[in-house]
């Protein structure tokens, strides 16, 4: 029986479509030039968010099965470069992430490109780590975010028996300790907060001191809420993937879903009062909270207003840690605010109290901004 495609609408996940009844789903994907379709029925007694999550997980399993089936005829002479192309097609990374990985591969991993997968040895990664040793831990770890899926797929394709990448090759990051301490953080914290509120909360014209430049502000609660989420410690992709059902005004909380978090678990945070006020100005309160995905075009304006050339969305996380730690906020609360799962903290707490901890950091932030 033919599938009536008109009844299915796209979701935020590539290849996953949802029926008007919000229970039936359709997998519609392309792998290696072939198109695959399959219906999936979620459980009616689950919430809409849980139905979407289980359908997404089923889609990923469906992809893996198709990839494995296609891999039977894999080329035994395939190179690392061939598999990088293949894994990009399979993973279908978001455009921005795909470009970042492509750039990184061509800059740092190109020496591996022509090597046959079956000829790569553990020693190659020991040498790679020597080459990357002067880079930041996060930058070094990106190499293995790209390489591990390549060699895992080669194992599935039976090109090799096991991955030559050893646990010792992969850099171990101490997340909270890695955060760079920002000098004069309290002053900069206030400057950034003022700039966000001016730029997106008024229609003023700001004159840039010492120059003949001016910036026209535009009151926009969408941009204001988005940047304030970042100011309070959220990653950009966590913010742009938020849906209205993730926000509870009644409980003064919001949830970052497992599929959108780096720790693969749902995380509940306290909703800051200033973000709450901005969100209440939105007219459309269905579906995605934010439809604006490109935020970097606003960086130059904030840099000009504040004089802080280091400003980026992610830089605000470092700023928050530096400023709030100077206010005496405990490491546990800072860890939870950032959404990390620090192992030493987990030994003391079975689960991070992110809602409570972010209430603490939000209170410290308010105190600092009012000071």
pLDDT digits (tens, 9 = 90+) for 210-224: 888 999 999 999 999
Instruction: Provide, rounded to the nearest whole percent, the portion of the chain with pLDDT above 90.
Output: 51
Give me the phi and psi of 188, to 5 degrees please: -65, -35
On the question of pLDDT at 281 being above 50, the answer is yes
pLDDT digits (tens, 9 = 90+) for 39-48: 999 998 999 9
pLDDT digits (tens, 9 = 90+) for 347-368: 343 344 667 677 778 888 888 8
On the question of pLDDT at 295 being above 60, the answer is yes
What class is the 177-370 domain? Answer: mainly alpha
Cα separation, 5 vs 205, in Å, equals 50
Decide: 197 and 224 in contact? Cβ < 8 Å.
yes
Domain boundaries, the chain: 5-73, 80-173, 177-370
Q: Where are the alpha helices (DSSP H) in the chain?
A: 48-70, 80-91, 95-104, 122-132, 137-156, 175-178, 185-201, 221-231, 236-240, 273-279, 299-306, 315-326, 331-338, 343-348, 354-370
Say what the pTM is. 0.55
- Average pLDDT on 273-297 reads 90
Residue with tokens 């709030």: 324
């Amino acid at each position: 029986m033919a599938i009536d495609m008109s009844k299915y609408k796209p979701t935020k996940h590539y290849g996953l479509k949802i029926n008007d009844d919000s229970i039936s789903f359709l997998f519609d994907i392309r792998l290696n030039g072939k198109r695959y379709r399959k219906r999936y029925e979620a459980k009616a007694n689950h919430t809409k968010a849980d139905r979407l999550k289980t359908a997404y997980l089923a889609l990923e399993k469906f992809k893996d099965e198709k990839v494995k089936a296609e891999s039977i005829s894999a080329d035994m002479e395939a190179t690392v470069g061939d598999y990088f192309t293949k894994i990009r097609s399979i993973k279908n990374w978001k455009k921005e992430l795909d470009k970042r990985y492509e750039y990184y591969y061509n800059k740092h991993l190109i020496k591996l490109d022509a090597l046959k997968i079956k000829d790569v040895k553990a020693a190659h990664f020991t040498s790679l780590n020597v080459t990357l040793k002067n880079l930041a831990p996060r930058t070094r770890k990106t190499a293995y975010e790209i390489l591990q899926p390549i060699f895992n797929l080669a194992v599935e394709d039976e090109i090799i028996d096991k991955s030559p990448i050893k646990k010792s090759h992969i850099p171990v990051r101490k997340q909270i300790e890695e955060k760079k301490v920002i000098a004069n953080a309290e002053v900069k914290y206030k400057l950034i907060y003022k700039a966000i509120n001016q730029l997106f909360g008024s229609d003023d014209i700001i004159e840039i001191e010492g120059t003949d430049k001016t910036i026209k502000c535009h009151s926009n609660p969408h941009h204001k809420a988005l940047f304030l989420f970042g100011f309070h410690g959220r990653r950009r992709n966590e913010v742009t993937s938020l849906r209205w059902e993730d926000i509870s005004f009644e409980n003064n909380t919001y949830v970052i879903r497992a599929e959108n978090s780096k720790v693969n678990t749902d995380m509940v945070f306290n909703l800051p009062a200033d973000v709450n006020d901005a969100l209440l100005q939105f007219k459309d309160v269905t579906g995605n909270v934010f439809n604006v995905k490109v935020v970097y075009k606003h960086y130059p304006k904030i840099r000009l207003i504040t004089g802080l050339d280091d400003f980026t969305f992610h830089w605000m996380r470092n700023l928050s840690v530096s400023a709030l730690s100077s206010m005496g906020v405990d490491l546990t609360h800072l860890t939870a605010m950032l959404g990390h799962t620090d192992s030493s903290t987990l030994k003391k707490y079975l689960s991070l109290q992110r809602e409570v901890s972010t209430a603490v950091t939000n209170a410290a932030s308010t105190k600092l901004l009012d000071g």
